[in-house]
């Protein structure tokens, strides 16, 4: 399963076979990451490759991954007092010796010797750790060899049988048996070899490393001699203790760490070479995607997004360092430099909508959607059982029944409003008739008191009676 820009997975490629490749913007090293690793189940010996802009440990968290080489790549690595530990497994302990029986010797009454303890197994080797972090702080990298297995304890000697007093003077007595000798302890094994720890940084503090070999296994303890038999004639002599085993011959071999500090340019060049083309291009693609997300989310008026253009520019720059041929990162970076939007137009451009084209699209798309909608509706209707249809009808009837009192209230309210409006109209009509009567009286009076002018200058009456409609 290959990894995309959104996650980590086991990657099988020509450049890295059976790597577990985990790519993120930020990675938190904690129990959740360990659980994800366990769930993915990379085969033993697969390299664990963690790549991110920032890798941060949960406070004090130790990621223990014995049997897996580890490559950690980040611009910033914060250990928070935690560690990455690839210490090899401890060697198996030697088997304890068997206990001696109680039927040895000429008369079958002495304790038997205990069996020797088994030798321990050698400690397992550590796996290498490589940390490539421009800035790394407060982390321990541990690649110690596994401890050698301890020798098994010698088995205890068997106990001698008790003496038996003769029941009669003619019968001989049975003497107690002596105790059996204890078994020798097994030998401890040598410790496993440590592994190399490589650290490449531009700036670091509090980075601790340990690639020492595993401790030798302890010697097996001597088996204790068996007790002598008691009873008549006892106690008999106990058995002698066995000899202790030997401790492991030596600790495992240690590997000196390789810690270097580079310039920023040299560090990025080294990272490209360490990752190889496949992983370098994958990281460049990821950072371009992150940068484009930030670029598109830029909003000068929002405090949490006002600096998105600067953050996006950093991501595009890192992508081009990882993969100089990345055309999309170069194009987006150029748009940033020219103060253009992500789609390559100025922020203050006015776009005139093409309404005819939009209407044509809607008109052409509508019948297709309508056909699908009708088909889906018919399918649902025909798929309904008779009981479902009855239930649907009953539900609608109940809904209409519930609406009846509401509609009645609305009808009564409308009737009351109509009655009120009619009453108000009658009052206004009466007032209008009264006003018309007053106007008629004034007009008649003006006619009666009309003014006249000298001959030849008569202008006629100032007020001419107007015909009016009879009052209603």
pLDDT band at 463 (very low <50, low <70, confident <90, very high): very low
- Give how far Cα 283 sits from Cα of 8, 53, 178, 296, 312, Å: 12, 10, 77, 20, 15
Residues 392-432 have pLDDT tens digits of 667 777 777 877 787 777 778 778 777 777 877 788 788 88
Task: Give the Cα separation of 154 and 223 in Å (integer).
Answer: 4
Each residue's pLDDT tens digit, 213-242 = 999 999 999 999 888 888 777 788 898 998
Secondary structure (DSSP) of 211-265: -PPPPPPPPPPPPPPPPPP-BTT-PPPPPPP----PPPS-PPPP---EEEE--HH
Higher-confidence residue of 224 and 353: namely 224
State the pLDDT at residue 430. 83
pLDDT in tens, 369-386: 777 777 777 767 776 666
In the predicted structure, residue 194 carries a pLDDT above the cut 90: yes
Interval 298-325 mean pLDDT: 94
Geometric angle at alpha carbon 69, from 68 and 71, rounded to 5°: 130
More confident residue, 365 or 290: 290
Query: Per-residue pLDDT averaged across 46-50, rounded?
Result: 95
> Poorest-confidence range of 79-83, 128-132, 302-306?
302-306
Give percent of the chain with pLDDT exceeding 70: 87
Calpha distance 328→440 (Å, rounded): 90
Query: Is 70 exceeded by the pLDDT of residue 181?
Result: yes
Residue 248 CA to chain centroid, in angstroms?
44
Structure confidence at residue 167 (pLDDT): 65
**What is the pTM assigned to this prediction?**
0.67
Given a contact cutoff of 8 angstroms between Cβ atoms, the answer to whether 177 and 112 are in contact is no
- Residues 102 and 72: beta-carbon distance below 8 Å: no
CB 221 within 8 A of CB 155: no
Average pLDDT over residues 250-265: 94
Give the C-alpha separation, 142 to 126, whole Å: 9
């Amino acid at each position: 399963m290959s990894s995309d820009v959104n996650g980590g997975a086991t990657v099988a490629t020509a450049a890295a076979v059976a790597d577990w490749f985990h790519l993120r913007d930020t990675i938190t090293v904690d129990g959740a990451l360990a659980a994800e690793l366990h769930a993915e189940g990379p085969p033993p010996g697969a390299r664990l490759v963690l790549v991110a802009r920032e890798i941060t440990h949960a406070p004090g968290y130790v990621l223990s991954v014995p049997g897996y080489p580890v490559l950690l790549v980040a611009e910033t690595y914060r250990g928070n007092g935690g560690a990455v530990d690839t210490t090899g497994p401890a060697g198996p302990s030697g088997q304890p010796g068997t206990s001696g029986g109680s039927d040895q010797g000429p008369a079958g009454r002495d304790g038997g010797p205990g069996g020797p303890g088994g030798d321990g197994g050698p400690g397992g080797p550590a796996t290498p750790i490589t940390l490539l972090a421009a800035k790394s702080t407060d982390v321990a990298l541990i690649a110690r060899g596994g401890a050698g297995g301890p020798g098994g304890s010698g088995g205890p000697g068997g106990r001698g049988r008790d003496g038996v007093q003769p029941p009669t003077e003619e019968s001989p007595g049975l003497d107690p048996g002596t105790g059996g000798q204890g078994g020798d302890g097994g030998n401890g094994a040598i410790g496993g070899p440590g592994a190399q720890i490589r650290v490449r940084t531009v700036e670091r503090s509090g980075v601790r490393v340990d690639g020492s070999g595993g401790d030798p296994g302890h010697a097996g303890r001597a088996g204790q001699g068996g007790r002598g038999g008691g009873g008549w004639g006892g106690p008999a002599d106990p058995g002698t203790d066995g000899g202790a085993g030997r401790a492991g011959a030596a600790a495992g071999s240690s590997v000196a760490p390789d810690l270097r500090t580079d310039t920023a340019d040299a560090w990025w060049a080294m990272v490209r070479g360490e990752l190889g083309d496949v992983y370098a291009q994958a990281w460049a693609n990821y950072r371009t995607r992150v940068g484009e997300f930030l670029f598109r989310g830029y909003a000068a008026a929002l405090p949490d997004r006002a600096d998105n253009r600067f953050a996006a520019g950093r991501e595009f720059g890192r992508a081009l360092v990882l993969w100089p041929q990345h055309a999309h990162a170069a194009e987006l970076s150029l748009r940033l430099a020219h103060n253009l939007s992500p789609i390559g137009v100025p922020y203050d451009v006015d776009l005139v909508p093409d309404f005819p084209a939009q209407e044509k699209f809607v008109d052409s798309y509508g019948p297709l959607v309508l056909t699908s909608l009708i088909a889906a509706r018919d399918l649902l209707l025909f798929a309904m059982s008779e009981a479902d249809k009855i239930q649907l009808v009953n539900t609608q009837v109940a809904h209409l029944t519930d609406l009846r009192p509401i509609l009645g209230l609305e009808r009564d309210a409308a009737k009351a409003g109509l009655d009120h409006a009619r009453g108000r109209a009658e009052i206004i009509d009466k007032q209008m008739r009264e006003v018309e009567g007053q106007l008629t009286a004034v007009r008649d009076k003006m006619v009666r008191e009309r003014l006249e002018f000298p001959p030849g200058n008569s202008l006629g009456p100032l007020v001419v009676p107007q015909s009016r409609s009879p009052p209603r």
